[in-house]
């Protein structure tokens, strides 16, 4: 199974209680890490991103394990100053916004799925998305992420109604948002109504991540409409960065592999919980083992995830 992964690489500067905690890899790094952790030896992951010489060492451990033939090296990638809070949505301010990613792929026939994460909101354009849709007939996933935020003159990023989002939605089978991002998709305010609207545009699955409240999924597949909700995995939360990226990547990988919505949702939820419990990035090397162990314990099974 070959998967195309698209999104900006970002150098994160993370602040908690107004103190700089650390400088580390961010953006599509978390998605690539999740796909790499769960991929089988016969799978090939193609990452479409931008990198820079000065901080490539932050990403190298994961990026050397994926195919970068469609990626490009640039002078500088975005630096994102993240203010993380205990009780509310994080604040983002970009030091630098790089150019959009050039989609160099011409032949999409080898891919089982395309995953797009709008890390900066400028990763790809609507024209790029339409190009992907015109040339690929398989499942396409988008994490709306920072597409939901505009950009102020001081580079602060605030939520706004996404221009022409209906046109974006028509290209994708699966859309992931958090509760704040959900309200930027349309003028509607009720999640069930928003799901119905997206279904009318051709979307099959809407995933709404809700932090400590868990996750809700709406689906419309083969004429059957369904709604599922899961509680968040109970962990001692030490990290709040990258959990949504991890969730979406694990969900999409297992959905491509199994077409099982529930199992894919459960494994993704478990993966996000595991990442939230990690005190540092070194623990990511245990991700698949931790997810499988916790999942099998909760389900009282011994299956290989």
Write out the two tokens for 167. 């046109």
229 in a structural domain: yes
Per-residue pLDDT for 17 more than 70? no
pLDDT at 86: 65
The CATH number covering residue 281 comes to 3.40.1190.20
| Interval 121-178: pLDDT, tens | 999 999 999 999 999 999 999 999 999 999 888 777 899 999 999 999 999 999 999 9
Q: What is the C-alpha to C-alpha distance for residues 181 and 117, in angstroms, rounded to an integer?
A: 13
253 in a structural domain: yes
Other beta carbons less than 10 A from residue 188's beta carbon: 15
Number of domains observed in the structure of the chain: 1
Domain that holds residue 68: 2-299
pLDDT at 19: 63
Which stretches within 22-139 are classed as H helix?
28-38, 56-63, 126-135
197 in a structural domain: yes
pLDDT at 97: 77
pLDDT above 70 coverage of the chain, percent: 95
Place of tokens 């990547």: 249
The dihedrals phi and psi of 202, each to the nearest 5 degrees, come to: 110, 0
98 in a structural domain: yes
**Residue 4 — very low, low, confident or very high, per pLDDT cuts 50/70/90?**
very high
Per-residue pLDDT for 248 more than 70? yes
Angle at 267 between CA 138 and CA 280, to 5 degrees: 110
Per-residue pLDDT for 30 more than 80? yes
**Residue 18 — very low, low, confident or very high, per pLDDT cuts 50/70/90?**
low
**Residue 20 — very low, low, confident or very high, per pLDDT cuts 50/70/90?**
low
304 in a structural domain: no
| Interval 194-211: pLDDT, tens | 999 999 999 999 999 999
Q: Give me the chain's average pLDDT, please.
A: 93
Among the residue ranges 35-39, 272-276, 294-298, the one predicted with the least confidence is: 294-298
| Interval 79-133: pLDDT, tens | 988 776 766 676 777 777 768 999 999 999 999 999 999 999 999 999 999 999 9
305 in a structural domain: no
Q: What is the C-alpha to C-alpha distance for residues 5 and 180, in angstroms, rounded to an integer?
A: 24
């Amino acid at each position: 199974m070959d998967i195309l992964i698209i999104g900006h690489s970002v150098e994160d500067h993370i602040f908690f209680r107004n103190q700089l905690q650390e400088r580390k890899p961010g953006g599509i790094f978390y998605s690539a890490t999740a796909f790499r952790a769960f991929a089988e030896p016969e799978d090939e992951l193609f990452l479409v991103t931008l990198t820079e010489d000065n901080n490539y060492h932050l990403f190298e451990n994961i990026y050397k394990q994926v195919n970068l033939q469609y990626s490009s090296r640039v002078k500088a990638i975005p630096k994102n100053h993240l203010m993380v809070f205990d009780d509310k949505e994080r604040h983002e301010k970009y030091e630098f916004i790089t150019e959009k990613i050039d989609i160099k792929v011409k032949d999409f026939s080898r891919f089982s799925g395309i995953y797009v994460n709008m890390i900066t909101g400028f990763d790809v354009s609507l024209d790029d998305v339409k190009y992907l849709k015109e040339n690929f007939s398989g499942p396409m996933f988008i994490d709306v992420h920072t597409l939901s935020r505009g950009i102020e003159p001081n580079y602060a990023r605030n939520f706004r109604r996404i221009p022409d989002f209906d046109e974006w939605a028509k290209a994708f089978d699966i859309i992931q948002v958090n509760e704040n991002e959900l309200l930027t998709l349309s003028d509607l305010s009720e999640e069930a109504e928003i799901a119905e609207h997206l279904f009318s545009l051709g979307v099959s699955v809407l995933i709404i991540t809700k932090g400590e409240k868990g996750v809700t999924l709406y689906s419309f597949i083969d004429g059957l409409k369904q709604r599922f909700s899961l509680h968040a995995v109970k962990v001692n939360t030490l990290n709040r960065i990258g959990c949504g990226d991890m969730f979406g990547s694990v969900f999409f990988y297992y959905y491509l592999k199994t077409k099982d919505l529930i199992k894919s949702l459960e494994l993704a939820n478990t993966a996000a919980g595991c990442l939230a419990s990690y005190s540092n990035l070194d623990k990511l090397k245990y991700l698949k083992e931790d997810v499988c162990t916790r999942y099998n314990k909760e389900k009282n099974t011994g299956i290989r995830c």
